[in-house]
Structure 1
Amino acid sequence: MPKITHCIFDMDGLLLDTERVYTEVTQELLDKYADGVKFTWDVKSKLMGRTGTESASMVVDHYKLPMSVQEYMDKSSVMHEERFPLVKPLPGVERLIRHLHAKGVPMAVATSSTRSKFELKTSLNDELFSLFDYIVCGDDAGIERGKPAPDIFLAAQQRLGNPPAENCLVFEDATNGVQAALNAKMHVVWIPDANLLKISGDPDSHGAAAVLESMTDFEPEAFELPVFDTTGHQETIKDKDITAPQDRY
């Protein structure tokens, strides 16, 4: 396994249980405007990791909804605003993030969400997200393409001081995100929903360095990161010789 010095995390469905909200809202709109046709994982898998506009366009197109993309986004946004502030971190997330922060491992969030959506989703988890060195959002300047293009991971790499790509580890739940990280020449830990894994074929074919059921299964030492503290003492990352902007955003 590679020696990792920097970690980059997707957010939706990886750090926070937001993908459940996206599924619920989409299905409710399909119930109302498409005679209850089911929002299946083969369609959802293609949306995950993409920008909000791209995802909305694909839903309207695929299900032939009687509305424009903007109308769909407006309707879904109202429903999202009610539910996103209530989402919680997924299993194993807090333990790993607090551990890496305590050991001085530089970390960034790289989410396709807009800045306003990020703030909405994390409003009850400010303290946890304050542990990241940088937050990169899909509508930040310079990010022209959504996943599977590598733009957002390259932006996170730049914020972190341009460490070598082979020393960067990306955590992702979406196949589009895995491909984006590989396109950025980085290593990937893939933590897919069980439903996504069922339709995605052989997990090894996607190029991830590890495929896990949950963040709780991640073993830092496999990537030469500091081990979880079970003895009261452990090494910290010493090579934090990076130059990065002062503003973590």
Structure 2
Amino acid sequence: MNTPRPVNRLRSSTSPSIPPRSGRSPHVGPSIRQRPWLEWVVRLVTKLVLLSFLISLGWVILLKYLPVSVTPLMISRKLEAIGENQNSQLYKDWTPYEDISKEAALAVVASEDQAFPKHWGFDFDEIQDALKENQRRKRPRGASTISQQVAKNVFLWNGRSYLRKGLEVYFTFLIELIWGKERILEVYLNVAETGPLTFGVEAASRRYYGHSSRTLTRTEAARIAAVLPNPRLFSIKKPSAYTQKRTRQISQQMRYLGGQRYLENL
């Protein structure tokens, strides 16, 4: 007599059937599977983002070693001069950091970003102070560090927008990570606008003082730094009373910071 087989209650006909595996997670992208064009867009955007990251990373690595011979701001200023039928010659002369007077390096740090040797691209204390002051000021005061200014001048266009600000943060992080402080300061000293169609302390020194930036005095370096907030309004060659006052203030700050020793450990 045959013994009836026991019934496996776990596999009864009332149990829900398990769908075959299709190679895709049932929880991921059902709307995308229903819309092939959306899947194509997602893939395209992902590839573009990855490509943009690799290009920007390679660009930053390359400029760690090569002179920055031109920036978007230089091109913009030249086009403006051409459009106004004026002399469009750019005055610029890339000079290595070791060939620039450290008085010039100290002057721009004392004037623009005294926390430069210590921060990682962003001075959050200065940002908070600027936000508080701007609640009372008609003209907002900026709080950009030297690193942020380099990121903006070298990699980005002139103007204000959330997109440009976001990219500025991105490139600031990259150059702080890859370049280091001395290279950032070297680039700043070479690309900062120091006068009409004039970029860098070497070009400014030769054009307005008649000698190399290697021999800049403290007062000369402080005057170059004094015009940096608006070099198209303030003049190194014909300093206004305000520029002269600011020059004296920067010289005092340079002494307060301890002189050139302040930048020894960049």
Please say whether Structure 1 and Structure 2 have the same fold, judged by a TM-score greater than 0.5: no
More helix by share: 2
More strand by share: 1
Greater RCO (Cα-Cα under 8 Å, separation 6 or more):
1
Q: TM-score, normalised by structure 2?
A: 0.23
Which has the higher Rg, Structure 1 or Structure 2?
Answer: 2
Q: TM-score, normalised by structure 1?
A: 0.24
